[in-house]
Structure formats: structure tokens, C-alpha cells
Amino acid sequence: MRIDFFTLFGEWFDWFGGQRHVRNALEHGSELRYVNYRDSTPLSGRQVDDSPYGGGAGMVLRVDVVDAALRAVYGEDSPARVILLTPAGRPFDERLAAELAAEPHLALLCGRYEGVDERVRAHLVDDAISVGPYVLSGGELAAMVVADAVIRKLPGSLGHADSAVEESFSAALGGLPEYPHYTRPASYRGWGVPEVLLSGDHAKVAEWRRVRSRERAEPG
């Protein structure tokens, strides 16, 4: 898979690209690229934003700037699924992560400032995604959240092949949250571990996990 991040702050991704599971994915053939809107802006002085029509605080990322960046990388027709990160987007969840992980090529567009000209969403992207009902200072962290959830689904990303199979919201758990985990010591400050997990009875362990998983899906 190839993921292109369109951003004004490529350095935000330095840390992300260095993480073990991301490097694993890269070693297995995935590719990450970073595109700075300023590098292809048609405006002078590397300008990318402007004040909003109708007035108001803050600056808005311009549609011609975003279009120029996409054209500079893809030409007339984008081979990527182009996604805008915005708090007003479709909520990101595990199902959407799995859907995106099946794509060969993603373009994640990070907004900044007050927002992004609405014509970007209307004409230039295939999807708009929100990582939660709160406003971040830009789309960079949101893009990393999306990329992280997607990349860990790629073959070779996680060290242990099974670890992404039976985890929260996975198909193996029927879309339910994951069951609780315990490890040594069996007793710590008087806090024990459920007996069944120490029993060696795999069927009972599996049943216990199914029940706990269901309980977590219906809290209270």
C-alpha cells in the first residue's frame, strides 16, 4: 500500500514514520510519501491560505492550492483514494480502517487554520473522515490515527501474525471490543487473575473471553 500525506507540517510525521510497525510495513513493500502544499502552490510567497469570504477569524486553506498539490503528484486523474481529514467528516472506526487497508493507494489531506475551502470536499476528494467529535489544531494527528489503524492491518506490520486478528472490533470477535488481558504476576497487591485463565481449559477460556467481550460492548 502507498499512503501520501498532504500537509504543511511534514516534520510532524518524522516520529510516526520511525515507529516499529510502520517500518515493518515499509520493509514489506508499503510506501509513505509526504507532500507539502507550499511546494506546488500557484500563489507567490508560498502562500496557501486566505481569509474567509463572509468574514470571520482565521485563515482557510485554498481550493486552488489543494488542487495544484494533487495535480503535481497525480496529474489529471488521481489513482489514490483521496481523503480529507476534518472534524465534520464521516466517523472513523475499525470497519472503515479495514476498508481503507484494502486500498492500494491512499491520499490523506490534512487541513490547517480555520479550515479548508468547502470546494475541496465537494470536488477534489472521495471521502471526508473525522477521528472524533473534537477539533484538533490540524489534520496531521488525525491522518496519523487513520494511517496507524490502517497500517497495523497490513501483512508484516505487527510482529505476531495473530495479534491483529483477535483484537477489539475485529471480525474474529464479531465486531465486539476485546476481552481483558492479564499476565504475571498472578497476584499483585492482592489483585488476582480470573481462575479460568489459569485453568488450562481452552474451551472455558474462549467462552469466558466471549462473555467479557460482550459485557464490554454493553457497559452498565
Shortest gap between Cβ of 149 and ligand ADE (angstroms)?
Answer: 13
Sheet architecture: strand order including 105-110: 31-36, 2-7, 105-110, 81-91, 127-130
Shortest gap between Cβ of 128 and ligand ADE (angstroms)?
Answer: 8
Task: Pick the binder of ligand ADE from 11, 75, 102, 134 (CB under 6 A).
Answer: 134
Which contacts of 204-209 are long-range, i.e. CB under 8 A and separated by 24 or more positions?
Answer: 208/179, 209/179
Identify which of 16, 34, 19 has the alpha carbon closest to the alpha carbon of residue 157: 19
> Given the DSSP bridges, would you call strands 60-61 and 49-50 parallel, antiparallel or unpaired?
antiparallel
CA distance 151 to 158: 9
Binding pattern to ligand ADE, positions 60-99, x when CB under 6 A? -------------------------xxx-x----------
Residue in the shown chain whose Cβ atom is closest to ligand ADE: 142
Is 139 a binder of ligand ADE (CB under 6 A)? Answer: yes
Looking at the Cβ atoms of 127 and 215, the one nearer to ligand ADE is 127
Written as nine digits, the cell of 42 is 500557484
Residue 214, Cα to own-chain centre: how many angstroms? 25
Looking at the Cβ atoms of 130 and 157, the one nearer to ligand ADE is 130
Shortest gap between Cβ of 150 and ligand ADE (angstroms)?
Answer: 14
Phi, psi of 21 (to 5 degrees): -70, -30
Written as nine digits, the cell of 151 is 497500517
Looking at the Cβ atoms of 135 and 196, the one nearer to ligand ADE is 135
Shortest gap between Cβ of 141 and ligand ADE (angstroms)?
Answer: 8
Stretch binding ligand ADE (CB under 6 A), from 57-65, 95-103, 133-141, 206-214: 133-141
Alpha helices in 120-201 (DSSP H): 139-151, 195-198
Q: What is the binding site for ligand ADE (CB under 6 A)? A: 85-87, 89, 111, 130-132, 134-136, 139, 142
